[in-house]
Homo-oligomer: A and B are copies of this chain.
Amino acid sequence: MELSSVNKNQKVTVEDAFWSNYKQLVAEQVIPYQWKALNDQLPDTAPSHAIENFRIVAGEAAGDYYGTVFQDSDVAKWLETVAYSLRSFPDPELEEAADEVISLMGRAQAEDGYLNTYYMLVEPDHRWTNLRDNHELYCAGHLIEAAVAYYETTGKYVFLDIMEEYVDLIRRTFGKEAGKLQGYPGHPEIELALLRLFDATGKREHLELAAYFIEQRGQEPHYFDMEKERRHSLDAPPTWNDQNTNFGLGYAYMQAHLPVRQQEEAVGHSVRAMYLYAAMAYLARKTDDAELQAVCDVLWDDVTNRKMYITAGLGSAVNGEAFTDAYDLPNDSMYCETCASVGLVFWAKQMLLLSPDRKYSDVLERAIYNGTISGMDLDGKRFFYVNPLEVNAYQAGRKDQEHVKQGRQKWFACACCPPNLARLIASIENHAYTQTEDTLYTHLYIAGSIQTKIGEVPVKITQNHQYPWYAGITVTVEGEGEFKLAFRIPGWCEGAAASINGKAVGISDLEKGYLVLERMWAKDDQIALSFPMPVMRIYSNPKIGMNQGQVALQRGPVVYCLEEVDNGNRLAGLRLPRESEITAAFEEDVLNGVVILEADGLRAEESEVLYQSHLPAMESVKLRAIPYYAWCNRKAGEMRIWIYET
């Protein structure tokens, strides 16, 4: 596989059975598939019209705007995915298609730099009148991210120039200064995009605009109140939110209930929260702001220790697609949007950059092997928006759970998740390593290599293994000199061992979960890491009422589930005895090759009555569990992660 460049100083390659397959899927299936979607060439699916909207604005097609107010962002995420994918899979034809879309954007851009097809076509006189609901700055953010990624891969400036022109307009429009709007987006995204733009260009004004948007959020008098007041005099179409009033959640719905530095609990729409928190951590790092970093840590603790599913899914309620109270984690009616877990990865990466700590990378790993990739089938053609932990046939007819689909969909009218997952997979290697001045941190075990400099020493390390199925990891070090290599000892792992050139290294003295190896490295030093992967029975904190009496199975970072296709229906009637031995075996022909778990279990005998005064009789059955991310790839049906234990 080709060399790919994560940033100016690092080159990372992926030679990993698991992730190379996913990256190839994105390159060969998802990108072309989404390109068709964006161009309305998929039969029997909700049309996108996203490219056509740009054509109409550019005067190159006739017709009306169609789509959500944030339709532009689908094009942006596709371009961003293309940018990452081109690093590993150069494809001149694809690059040309991308260049053409970028050129179209340039032609669609207004004289003054403005670029949003919804407003340009539907409400040309109402720019910046509904930041609360209409995703204008959100779309700008995704376009900026795409432009940065495209520039970093291709070295081409066109897209970056378009976006910097747009950002200049945004900077002239928003800010604390008199005569500017003191607004900020209802849906965060531009904040982290501007920070990336700052990193790519070195222009401090981009950082300052990001800081403005972050700090202005939730200040009083409340901008969204004033904006709403002003909107009364406009002839603007009503939005979903005019009636829903933030789903009864107030401005907490968009994390604008308080200035961010006063926020102590994760609230509201989970995706918005992730994007905001990621930007806050990014800003804290760029400005060396310990106070803001501390806020991020309080929020991290709240999310990951009180409001996160075992899959790294986020969002307990469909109402507002939002967090609810601590420990409220229903498995069947939750939201767990793919985008939220993707956002959690972005945030985790930013936290790692602030301060390497296993508490961040463990969650990052949990997300990438579970609640993110569950959002796509193994063919890259169907997608989950909502990722349930449990699907029961008897709930299929519930009107209040219509958001929980029992099978993946081809596309969505609101198509945020598929391209979001695609851009994560295409750039998965960006999350494997971080560096400090004297240390190279390995957070993820993704086979392949990184070339970088530690201090002035050129270093290359190469991981070799079959993670996540087996974790005998060999790391070859190329680089001569004194520097530190830090390896994450996964939080799930008991009995890890390490050696250098065959000589055991103690691992009792970890630094925040990392084994830090400092020495005068010589050519071809070899590190061996061993992370035993017995099947783990995972139990919930008793505070999570929904999971009591139940056990989840995890092996390495992979969470398992039972599916109807393997275990029959009525999965809630199955029992896993505490003493049952659970076997694990790699099955090459199943689900692209996965480790399957099997155990002797029981099935409670059903009856004709609802309630009875004796325990149901139990029948012996063989339980078969597959990795959660791969569920619903053979046959639709029931699924559950948490299994009743006896």
Give me the interface of A with B, judged by CB distance under 8 Å. 247-249, 304-306, 308, 310, 317-320, 324-329, 333, 390, 392, 394-400, 492, 494, 536-546, 548-550, 552, 554, 570-573, 603-616, 644-646
Contacts of A305 in B (CB 8 A): 608-610
A618 to B, closest residue via Cβ: B542
Question: Given the complex, which residues of B lie within 8 Å of A644, measured CB to CB?
Answer: 548-549
Q: Is the CB–CB distance between A328 and B548 below 8 Å? A: no
- Give complex CA distance A396, B325 in Å: 8
Beta-carbon contact of B249 and A399 below 8 Å: yes
Cβ–Cβ contact B543 & A606, under 8 A: yes
List 18 A-B residue pairs with CB atoms under 8 Å apart, sorted by A's residue number: A324-B397, A326-B394, A327-B394, A328-B395, A329-B610, A492-B613, A539-B614, A542-B573, A542-B604, A542-B616, A543-B570, A544-B610, A545-B572, A545-B573, A548-B572, A548-B604, A549-B644, A554-B613
A271 to B613, CA, bound (A): 29
Highest count of chain B CB atoms <10 Å: which of A536, A539, A571, A610: A610
Q: Which residues of B contact A612 (CB under 8 A)?
A: 538-539, 541
Query: From residue A605, how far is it (CB to closest CB) to chain B in Å?
Result: 7
Number of copies: 2
Closest to A392 in B: B545
With beta carbons under 8 angstroms apart, the residue of B306, B390, B395, B570 that contacts A610 is B306
Q: How far is the CB of A163 from chain B (nearest CB, A)?
A: 37
A136 to chain B, nearest CB (A): 27
Contact call A613/B537, Cβ cutoff below 8 A: yes
Closest 6 CB pairs of A and B: A542-B573, A545-B572, A549-B549, A542-B604, A549-B644, A328-B394
Interface residue from B396, B400, B554, B611 paired with A319 (Cβ < 8 Å): B400
| Residues of B close to A324: CB separation below 8 A | 394-395, 397-398
> Which residues in B have their C-beta under 8 angstroms from that of A319?
398-400
Minimum CB–CB distance from A534 to chain B (whole Å) comes to: 10
A541 touches B606 (CB 8 A): yes
Which of B247, B537, B645 contacts A399 (CB under 8 A)? B247
- CB proximity of A392 to chain B, nearest CB, Å: 5
Chain B nearest CB from A525 CB (Å) reads 33
Tell me the complex Cα distance, A542–B611, Å: 10
A549 and B644 alpha carbons, distance in the complex (Å): 6
Q: Are A573 and B543 neighbours in the complex by a CB distance under 8 Å?
A: yes
The closest CB in chain B to the CB of A249 belongs to B399
A328–B390 Cα distance when bound, in Å, is 14
Is there an interface contact between A400 and B317, defined as CB atoms closer than 8 Å?
Answer: yes
Q: Residue among A306, A494, A541 with the most chain B CB within 10 A?
A: A541
Residues of chain B lying within 8 A (CB to CB) of residue A541: 606-607, 609-612, 616
Q: Closest residue of chain B to A327, judged by CB?
A: B394
- Kindly state the separation between the CA atoms of A163 and B390 in the bound complex, as whole angstroms: 53
> Are B539 and A616 in contact, with the CB atoms below 8 A?
yes
CB of A567 to closest CB in B, whole Å = 13
Which of B310, B317, B542, B549 is close to A606, meaning CB atoms less than 8 Å apart? B542
Residues on B with beta carbons closer than 8 Å to the beta carbon of A306:
610
Q: A317 — which chain B residues lie within 8 A by C-beta?
A: 398-400
**What are the residues of chain B within 8 A of A329 when measuring CB–CB?**
610
Do B247 and A538 have beta carbons less than 8 Å apart? no
Q: Let me know if A613 and B536 touch, CB within 8 A.
A: yes
Which B residues touch A539, using CB under 8 A? 611-616
Question: Please, which residue of chain B has its CB at the minimum distance from the CB of A393?
Answer: B325
What CA separation (Å) do A319 and B318 show in the bound complex? 14
Q: Residue of B at shortest CB range from A544?
A: B610
Closest to A559 in B: B611
Q: Which residue of B lies closest to A614 (CB)?
A: B539
* Cα separation A554 to B542 with both chains bound (whole Å): 25
Given A610-B306, A613-B492, A613-B538, the answer on whether A394 and B543 have CB atoms closer than 8 Å is yes
* CA A570 to CA B492, docked complex, whole Å: 27
Q: Closest CB of chain B to A513's CB: distance in Å?
A: 14
Contacts of A614 in B (CB 8 A): 539
Q: Name the B residues within 8 Å of A610 (CB-CB).
A: 304-306, 308, 310, 329, 540-541, 544
In the complex, besides A305-B608, A536-B613, 4 extra interface pairs with C-beta distance below 8 angstroms are A328-B397, A541-B607, A541-B611, A542-B573
> Which residues in B have their C-beta under 8 angstroms from that of A326?
394
Q: Which residue of B lies closest to A604 (CB)?
A: B542
- CA of A394 to CA of B328 in the docked complex: distance in angstroms? 6
Once bound together, how far apart are the Cα atoms of A494 and B614, in whole Å?
12
Residues of B within 8 A of A249 (CB): 399
The answer on a CB contact under 8 Å between B248 and A399 is yes
